[in-house]
Chain A
């Protein structure tokens, strides 16, 4: 865990990895909008094709991709149950004694549709986090938010906070492990007992951790002051994100897809109803 590339990042030098983070973020937004605009399986199928296309160029193995879906399985189950029983339009599939146990054909269709949509959403987002380090993700977000400076939104401060947070997560994780070990050596027990006992057991970890975080913040503040930090307007930026030829290709593909979706939406082009 002693790495800035914690989280999901899967190191590789694939086409998608080398894209500018802004391209990836914007592409993801377009993709999500398309998924929400899709009203039937054909449209969703088109989105799925796009996803497969991108995934193929991401260099991320299927296993890592699917792992990201694991986290939402419970949510998916919960949603399925709710939908199946609470969607009351359409023909009942069987004769239930109580109304609320009734399942209609439309409910099944609707549930499956929602599940597929959610799947595609999560898979698409995980492509972004799998191929982009948290640091460059933060850079990308900062750059995309720059126009908000006009309405005095503190973009630079937000970016600095993100960057420092990313830097200190592994340090604080190490520290937590150390404090836990120290309290364990003094007989603390974090693994047994009821919920109240367990919450109480956290206090001897949490307080030293908080104190340490404040101490670190204080020292970091001094170190930043000493290195002339003032947050002023004269501040320059060493790293500049630049678009490359890969980004142009990605943009062209993205725009074509976007246009396609809009055309389908506006003209309800018949190909959609042929299948």
Chain B
């Protein structure tokens, strides 16, 4: 039986008349959904892809009656979704898990929250107890029955949200970007649960996601664009159509970019996201002595800047020795967030900071502009007399951009104007009436004596730097902008003081793949024209490999290793033992090395492809000199 059936469904957030009127002027813009036909079979696992604003969430909400279609028919498990009398029968069958794990829990205790759904539909007490057992077991969270959700990790919270939905025993489960706010570990937890529910409980799954790896797990992928379904088919086929994806503002997964790059250069490789398969393909392809043409690859800007010799070496530099930080000091709950961190970030670096939630990386980053201070930098600090014979504690050094952050006499405001800090989801800090006022906020705070013209010039420069048109946006409200634009405005509000060091915590979180790439190239532009040193905290190892020249891995308050991404990712086992991912190119290089093909690349897609093609060509030249020679000539 069909689980979900959409027939020519239109939906507009405006009223019907308004939408019809607007539709005259803009062809598609008025409708969030613009004639969708979709059939999902029972037990099927369908991934929905599409850039932000393509109509994916609208699709989800229509399916369980949170929205009703403006036009067209929706049938879910034989129920008419437009029938308001049967709306609760429908919702019982269709569970939705939303993006933000915090905003879908009503109770302060896990079991009470899971009981919420069954209570709403009037299930008897004893049975609710059984359903809680069932739901918690299904998501593997039995031991957290009496826990409080605030104490759980993001992945655990989302599993509780899934359990809350499961307690209603739905036949269909929709995940509306449910993994977007999680770290890789949490994402895996959630996806494991979803897969199992689909395979074992035969629940129909509609997975809305930006991550190609997740979409690959589905039976079918559909791509939405401007409220229409524009592509449909096996995930591997859909994700491989580079030109089409580009048209719909989506990007080819990095693994497939490697395959395509190699095939184009002559090393025939099947599209695959499994490193082992690709390695096998490469090896067998190399044996056939292919004709190789080394195509120079377009490289990202991802390298460090050289520090010019006549410059002040302190500018843009971070030096940190023996930095520790304790939460709840002098109480039984004392925990070391940082435990003797030593790190030098050189002027000109595009530096990556890697680590799990709770590894101490956020605590470290907040030290860089004195949002957290060493004890000796606190106003109340008095040097303690050290007892004779007692071991002298190691001296803490924290020098950022030439400011000594262990000294309470340091001008911390001056420091903050030189070390810009962009927090996660910075758009949530916008507050002013106009974009201009918001961007100017920091500038005015740091320097009250600026003239109107000076402020205007600086704000204009910052807004244009982040790729927005000053005249278009200066007077508009920051809240009217799109998500990506808001983030740019928030970044402009930080770089407006022309900091030497720019620190960004998960700058690309929550953006769609194209948005991520745009943001990273914006950061490179800022890095080369504006800020000496850029430091990003990221969970995305591909992002680190593609963009940073150096990186450090944090674990349990310490730095486990520092070096170029190449040096870090070479140690695949080491990374995996820390529960961290490695980029596809690193996995592939390892698989190849085991087969005797050693490729020495920096793990960016472009460099890897180029190095491998050069290798293939050399090998060709070695084994069959005539052909190789001809190629060379």
Chain A residues in contact with chain B, CB under 8 A? 2-5, 134-135, 160, 163-164, 166-167, 170-171, 178-179, 181-189, 203-204, 207-208, 211-212, 215-216, 219-220, 222-230, 232, 234-240
Given A186-B445, A227-B91, A236-B122, do A222 and B66 touch, yes or no (CB 8 Å)?
yes
In the complex, chain B residues whose CB is within 8 Å of the CB of A219: 98, 100, 103-104
Docked-complex contact A183 and B103, CB < 8 angstroms: no
Q: Which residues of B contact A223 (CB under 8 A)?
A: 96, 98, 103-104, 161
A3-B115 CB under 8 A given contacts A167-B106, A189-B445: no
Produce 1/0 per residue, B141-155, CB < 8 A to A.
000000011110000
CB of B106 within 8 A of CB of A3, answer: no
Closest partner residue, chain A, to B420 (CB atom): A185
> Chain B: residues with CB nearer than 8 A to chain A?
61, 64, 66, 88, 91-92, 95-96, 98, 100, 102-109, 111-112, 115-125, 128-129, 132, 148-151, 161, 164-165, 168, 366, 369, 371, 413, 416-417, 420-421, 423, 426, 428-432, 441-442, 445-446, 479, 493-494, 497
Query: Shortest CB–CB separation between residue A75 and chain B, in angstroms?
Result: 29
Chain A interface, DSSP helix/strand/loop, else mixed: helix
| New A-B contacts (11) at CB < 8 Å, excluding given A3-B150, A163-B106 | A4-B108, A135-B107, A179-B429, A185-B494, A186-B494, A208-B431, A226-B64, A226-B66, A227-B168, A235-B120, A236-B122
From B102, B122, B125, contact of A216 by CB (8 A): B102
A211 touches B119 (CB 8 A): no
Assess the B430–A208 pair: CB atoms within 8 A.
Answer: yes
Is B423 within 8 A of A178, CB to CB? yes
* Most chain B CB atoms below 10 A, which of A5, A166, A179, A235: A235
CA distance A216 to B104 in the complex (A): 9
Q: Which of B122, B150, B421, B429 has the most CB of A within 10 A?
A: B429
Contacts of A185 in B (CB 8 A): 369, 371, 416, 420-421, 423, 494
Q: Which residues of B contact A225 (CB under 8 A)?
A: 66, 91
Q: Bound state CA distance, A234 and B123, in angstroms?
A: 9
Residue among A4, A187, A227 having the largest count of chain B Cβ atoms under 10 Å? A227
Q: Which residues of B contact A208 (CB under 8 A)?
A: 428-431
On whether the beta carbons of B124 and A220 are closer than 8 Å, the reply is no
Q: Given the complex of chains A and B, what is the CA–CA distance between A183 and B422 in angstroms? A: 10
Provide the bound-state CA to CA distance between A185 and B528, in Å.
Answer: 23
Q: Which residue of B lies closest to A234 (CB)?
A: B122
Q: List 11 A-B contacts (CB under 8 A).
A: A2-B150, A135-B112, A167-B107, A167-B108, A183-B441, A204-B431, A211-B428, A219-B100, A223-B96, A227-B91, A234-B121
Contacts of B102 in A (CB 8 A): 171, 216
B contact residues around A238 at 8 Å (CB): 111-112, 115, 118-119, 125, 128-129, 132
Tell me whether A4 and B91 are in contact (CB under 8 A): no
B93 CB to closest chain A CB (Å) equals 10
A208 CA to B395 CA, complexed, in Å:
40
Please indicate which of the listed interface residues A134, A164, A187 has the most CB atoms of chain B within 10 Å of its own CB.
A187
Shortest Cβ distance from residue A173 to the other chain B in the assembled complex, whole angstroms:
10
Q: Inside 8 A of A181's CB, which chain B residues have their CB?
A: 366, 371, 423
Complex interface: chain B residues within 8 A of A239 (CB): 112, 115
Are A228's CB and B429's CB within 8 A? no
Q: Are B64 and A160 in touch, CB under 8 angstroms?
A: no
Given A4-B109, A163-B108, are A227 and B116 also a contact pair (CB < 8 Å)? yes
